[in-house]
Structure 1
Amino acid sequence: MVKSLLHKSWPKDVPNELEYRLGEKPLHEYLIQNAMDYPNEPAYHFYGKEITWHQLKEKSMRFAQFLKNKGMGKGNRIALFMQNCPQYLIGHYAIQMIGGIVVPLNPMYKSSELEYFINEANIQVIITGQELYQLVANITHQVSSLQFVVTTHYADFLSTNNTLPLPDELNMKRQEIKDSFDMLSVIEGNNPIEQVEKVDIWDDVGLMVFTSGTTGRPKAAMLTYGNALFKTAASAHGYLIGAQDITLASAPLCHIAGMVMGVNIPIYSASSCVLLTRFDPEAAIKAIETYKVNKLYTVAPMNAAILQYPGIENRDLTSLELNFATSFGMQVDEELANAWEKVTDGCLLFEASYGLSETHTCDTIMPIDKVKHGSCGIATYDTEIRIVDMETGTDLPPGEQGEIVVKNPGVFKGYLNRPEDTAETLRDGWVFTGDIGMLDEDGYLYFKGRLKEMIKSSGFSVFPEDVEALLSEHEAISQVAVIGIPDEVRGESVKAFIVLKQEYKGKISEDEIIAWSKETMAAYKYPREVEFLDSLPATSSGKVLRRLLKEN
């Protein structure tokens, strides 16, 4: 599809060309410059604790020196396994200051999942919340690459004067964990790093995000420092986010969209951000009221929760101007947008973008002056989107559905140690997304579904092969296949079809399998339904036909 069509609806107030605010440099250098330009201005607010640009830079550089002293440097893979907190931000930028690679891990993962991810990415260090440490300790003998662990107590970065209701994690007592380094102690015990590592922003990998690609268990998508800079700048300029704005981050920072909005955009734009450990309606409402948040990223169920909150009509959300949202579990449609506009006295709510981990997400933006509900907006800066026939690969005209194919400076380098999977997804600089979509005559993209069998549960990607591998560890299970089924709350939930070993038939129930799964894997991933079968539908080569399970 030609660029003239893709940018036919470009918003009038947004610059046509992308110019980086401080030039073409990695985001941690933006952080350092922000500390020079606005040393005492608040970078983040954390339940009443104000963290200035100078403080964030200083703590990041001190932690970077600790990592360097421990032998970490360019190319080392260091995981962040914790809830949203200032320590996450410090860890992220400290890792990149030494030229390391950030590997986000969802704090909902259990030990079996951690073992897979650590081995797959050859992770050398994990920085984790103290409440999650035991999950790491459980598998240290199964992960030869792991050299040491850093733990943190979230309350270390709290004020004594809390302005927002605290989640449980922030009320926990501090634990002394002997087999790990305490993050606050090592920050206080080191001088700031004298010089950050020089990186080639378009070639050096700064981030590895686990994703399915088109098939298989999760793979580590390798993203460069430049990928992050480009997509962050495109989103910030596309939605006119600047130093004058105050944003709110409550989506998981370990998720690529939450990372862009909560980790990257505040640093790029030098805007102030209110950080929540997790979404809570009262905390979010009070944060908007207290800090006069004017630009907000949400997933649609967050908006619904606020709209349904008792007494919301008497709360003050009038500071809100723009709310870019994602349709997870429910649609960001005109009905929701109208209700949101009414309760906020004019805030514009719309679908934020289309994107995927392999492109550092945010491949589209919604023109603020030409919102089309039901669409994902138009191609963002320097981005081409094509719709191709799924069999022939030829381009399709507007109005016809096919596979979405994307090309821009945010496209990843490939999957770690997976050349065949990389070749399948990345072809001549184009990412073949495995998603079905359509472009209209004005260049707006409409997402229609997934070619791949990935399940989208509560906004998280669930890969059938991953759940199947974990279920196969159960002693009673001979064969298993999982699919996604509709769920009004989560969007989709996992259903498992299981063939029991002969000696366990009649001796174990579906509910027992579900209970075991709940203890073994993340909450969004474990099957909510289990069905026992005598056999699974399969091809002559033995490949399970999940589509037949969906049809039954």
Structure 2
Amino acid sequence: MRIPGGVPTAHLDTFASDRLPPAGLMPRFDYSAPFLSNIPDRLNGAALLIDGAIAEGFAAKTAFYCADAAMSYGELQDKACRIARVLVEDFGLVPGNRVLVRSGNTPMAAACWLGILKAGGVCVNTMALLRARELTYILNKARIDIALADIDLAQELELAKGTGEALKHVCYFTALCSGQGELDQRMDRKSGGFKPVDTAADDVALITFTSGTTGNPKGALHLHRDILAVCRCWPRVYTLEQDEIVTGSPSLAFTYGMAAFLMYPLYYRASAALLPKPTPDAILETVERRKVTSLYTVPTMYHALLERAGGGTLSSLRKCTSAGEHLRQRLWDGWLDKTGIRLVNGLGMTEFLTH
């Protein structure tokens, strides 16, 4: 059976791939399903998600909503290309270098994710709540070369950056690229149109760290082909249409949120309403204001939403999924009674990239 990849790597820095298990210890991958068997041997996950959308004519469509702002697919591609240029031209990134992203769920966090992959880098998303000690561990475990962070989250990264053994550059951005951050300003001096690095399908694209409940967090390595594979798997059951808007609480640093609010909407040319601080009230306001159709969150949040939701607040929802905690029958029944929607319970782990 053919496994996508097996062609020369585009990575000049092979730190990540050198830490994959030897071939004899790798899992047995099954790409025989019709929706997986045609994944190409060379694939750049960012080009697949954003450049593909532009080629199909979605430049003017909204990719992300955030508070009162909106970012189109075309604007997102332009920002990702400019970020890629900053990484390569200003910071000397070579394919395979690791780049840390520290942010809440914002359009610029998504643009950074895409820009890193377009440049051939390996993206390491991190939770906004991490403290300096935890950031230091990740910086050194993944031998991070460059860090891009929301300027509102600078304090802990500033404390940690002196302990990053490989860290050369730290650059801050604003959530909507409003010009106050150094990265915003560097981007403004760049042109768009960055040609994505022609990565192999089995080149490492992401390192996602576990939550560390059993000790130090483990860095799970995900390949470019994994991005396409997960987009073609879970959404075959929990579908996503082009006219849909998704929102919810999981962080983009979790594979749950990364898939729900970045990979799936872009791949299916839908839209996501991003919430940097996803409180119950913020979710309810966003659902009602943006006419959200698909909600991704955790049982604790569903309990809070049930207590607060008014009569028509949730009327735009078509489907809802829960993950991250045990979904109890009482909550499932209560949500069905309130909304008429059956909660879909997702199970999975960081190492699987999606639930």
The answer, yes or no, to whether TM exceeds 0.5 is yes
Q: Show the counterpart of 1:316.
A: 313
Q: Which of 342, 352, 367 is residue 337 of structure 2 equivalent to?
A: 342
Q: CA RMSD in A?
A: 2.4
Amino acid in structure 1 at the alignment position of 2:75? Q
Q: Show the counterpart of 1:65.
A: 85
1:91-122 superposed Cα distances (whole Å, 9 cap, x missing partner): 00000001100011111111111111111110
Matched, 1:33 2:28: no
- Mapped partners of 2:104, 2:248: distance in 1: 12
Matched, 1:43 2:63: yes
Q: Show the counterpart of 1:81.
A: 102
Contact 1:78 1:124 in 2 (8 A): yes
Q: Show the counterpart of 1:533.
A: none
Contact 2:84 2:194 in 1 (8 A): no
Contact 2:106 2:176 in 1 (8 A): no
- Mapped partners of 2:331, 2:214: distance in 1: 34
Q: Show the counterpart of 1:251.
A: 250
Shift of 1:221: 1.7
Secondary structure, in 3 states, of the residue corresponding to 1:258?
Answer: helix
1:324-347 superposed Cα distances (whole Å, 9 cap, x missing partner): 11152xx32332122212322x22
Q: 1:64 to 1:107 in 2, by over 3 A?
A: same
1:470-492 superposed Cα distances (whole Å, 9 cap, x missing partner): xxxxxxxxxxxxxxxxxxxxxxx
Q: Show the counterpart of 1:439.
A: none
Contact 1:246 1:271 in 2 (8 A): yes
1:453-502 superposed Cα distances (whole Å, 9 cap, x missing partner): xxxxxxxxxxxxxxxxxxxxxxxxxxxxxxxxxxxxxxxxxxxxxxxxxx
Amino acid in structure 2 at the alignment position of 1:325? S
- Mapped partners of 1:93, 1:280: distance in 2: 26
Amino acid in structure 2 at the alignment position of 1:123? I
Q: 1:334 to 1:214 in 2, by over 3 A?
A: closer
Q: Show the counterpart of 1:458.
A: none
> Aligned residues, how many?
319
Matched, 1:281 2:283: no
Q: Show the counterpart of 2:351.
A: 358
Q: Show the counterpart of 1:372.
A: none
Amino acid in structure 2 at the alignment position of 1:128? A
Q: 1:192 to 1:73 in 2, by over 3 A?
A: farther
Q: After the TM superposition, which of the residue ranges 138-147 and 66-75 deviates more from structure 2?
A: 138-147
Q: Please report the TM-score for the alignment, with normalisation by the length of structure 1.
A: 0.55
Contact 2:240 2:270 in 1 (8 A): yes
Gaps of 5+ in 1: 1-15, 158-173, 363-552
Q: Show the counterpart of 2:232.
A: 233
Shift of 1:244: 2.3
- Mapped partners of 2:169, 2:103: distance in 1: 16
1:421-474 superposed Cα distances (whole Å, 9 cap, x missing partner): xxxxxxxxxxxxxxxxxxxxxxxxxxxxxxxxxxxxxxxxxxxxxxxxxxxxxx
Amino acid in structure 2 at the alignment position of 1:337? W
- Mapped partners of 2:155, 2:273: distance in 1: 30
1:137-177 superposed Cα distances (whole Å, 9 cap, x missing partner): 223332231111111223545xxxxxxxxxxxxxxxx9x7x
Q: Show the counterpart of 1:325.
A: 322
Shift of 1:200: 0.7
- Mapped partners of 2:135, 2:251: distance in 1: 18
Secondary structure, in 3 states, of the residue corresponding to 1:251?
Answer: coil
Q: Which of 52, 67, 75 is residue 72 of structure 2 equivalent to?
A: 52
1:1-400 alignment, distance < 5 Å? 17=33, 19=35, 24=40, 25-29=43-47, 30-36=49-55, 37-69=57-89, 70-154=91-175, 156=177, 182-201=182-201, 203-211=202-210, 216-309=215-308, 312-328=309-325, 331-344=326-339, 346-352=340-346, 354-362=347-355
Q: Once the two structures are aligned, what percentage of the paired residues are identical?
A: 24
Q: 1:110 to 1:196 in 2, by over 3 A?
A: same
Amino acid in structure 1 at the alignment position of 2:330? E
1:380-529 alignment, distance < 5 Å? none
The structure richer in strand per residue is 1
Secondary structure, in 3 states, of the residue corresponding to 1:131?
Answer: helix
Gaps of 5+ in 2: 1-31
1:201-241 superposed Cα distances (whole Å, 9 cap, x missing partner): 1x200001123799652232211111222112212222121
1:301-355 superposed Cα distances (whole Å, 9 cap, x missing partner): 111111111xx23343111111111152xx32332122212322x2221212x22
Which of the pair has more CA radius of gyration? 1
Shift of 1:193: 4.2
- Mapped partners of 2:176, 2:221: distance in 1: 32
- Mapped partners of 1:40, 1:23: distance in 2: 28
- Mapped partners of 1:287, 1:250: distance in 2: 11
Q: 1:188 to 1:254 in 2, by over 3 A?
A: same
Q: Please report the TM-score for the alignment, with normalisation by the length of structure 2.
A: 0.83
- Mapped partners of 1:118, 1:244: distance in 2: 39
Secondary structure, in 3 states, of the residue corresponding to 1:67?
Answer: helix
Amino acid in structure 1 at the alignment position of 2:352? T
- Mapped partners of 1:33, 1:306: distance in 2: 36
Shift of 1:57: 0.6
Amino acid in structure 2 at the alignment position of 1:106? M
Q: 1:213 to 1:205 in 2, by over 3 A?
A: farther
1:57-109 superposed Cα distances (whole Å, 9 cap, x missing partner): 11111111111102112100000111111111010000000110001111111
Contact 2:44 2:198 in 1 (8 A): no
- Mapped partners of 2:171, 2:186: distance in 1: 9
Contact 2:39 2:225 in 1 (8 A): no
- Mapped partners of 1:303, 1:265: distance in 2: 22
- Mapped partners of 1:225, 1:238: distance in 2: 22
Amino acid in structure 1 at the alignment position of 2:350? S
Contact 1:322 1:348 in 2 (8 A): yes
Contact 2:203 2:223 in 1 (8 A): yes
Amino acid in structure 1 at the alignment position of 2:35? E
Amino acid in structure 1 at the alignment position of 2:45? L
- Mapped partners of 1:94, 1:272: distance in 2: 19
Contact 1:65 1:193 in 2 (8 A): no
Secondary structure, in 3 states, of the residue corresponding to 1:308?
Answer: helix
Contact 1:340 1:347 in 2 (8 A): yes
